[in-house]
Amino acid sequence: MFQIRIHGRGGQGVVTAAEILSIAGFMEGQHAQAFPSFGSERMGAPVMAFCRLDEREIRLREPVMAPDALIIQDTTLLHQVDLFQGLDRRHGYLIINTTKRYDELGIGEYVNSFLPHHICTVAASEWARKFIGRPVPNIALLGAFCALTRRVKLESLQEAVLEKFPGRIGEMNQKAAAAAYDAIRLN
């Protein structure tokens, strides 16, 4: 089983990201489960969402306590919430939406122990602003997730995005996801 935890704030599409990732997994024949941290839905409040991918039926209902991959949509949460709880630095994946360097974020030392190809920063809000016109980083980050972890194919993600957002919004999000994917793959 591969477990993903996504952190962000209300309005940034955190829950939607987990849902879309589960749809992408499902499209590849995987069993997938996605659910939110069940908070109030206030804009701007810290929010997290979970996704599990497995070859077998997923029965477990606990929140993702020990993620294999962590996606951070909003770095202003870094020193407010215990974002890294349960993340294994030797094997885990870390994807952060930022244009800053790790030491600028104050986590330079923390990220040292990750495998280099297990960690990345993505200018997801910038990609979103460019392709969607709004800084909603969730789908671009999923593009980076596909590139980094290879747990889900970009094509499946693109298909899932379109299922969730049929039409133009979906297409714009697809472009943001592809751009982020390419940026990580080429790195």
Q: How far is the CB of 146 from other proteins (least distance, A)?
A: 17
Nearest to 8 by CA among 93, 95, 88: 95
Comparison of 7 and 175: residue with beta carbon closer to other proteins: 7
Closest separation between CB of residue 16 and other proteins, Å? Answer: 10
- Rounded to whole angstroms, how far apart are CA atoms 16 and 32? 14
Distances in Å between the alpha carbon of 82 and those of 20, 78, 87?
25, 7, 11
Q: Are 23 and 163 in contact (CB under 8 A)?
A: yes
Closest contact distance (angstroms) between CB of 160 and other proteins is 8
State which residue, 75 or 121, has the beta carbon closest to other proteins: 75
Measured from the CB atom, the residue of 18 and 144 that comes closer to other proteins is 18
Q: Which residues bind other proteins (CB under 8 A)?
A: 18-19, 22-23, 25-27, 31-40, 45-46, 58-63, 65, 81-82, 85
Minimum CB distance to other proteins, residue 138 (Å): 15
HEC secondary structure over 22-46: HHHHHHCCCEEEEEECCCCCCCCCE
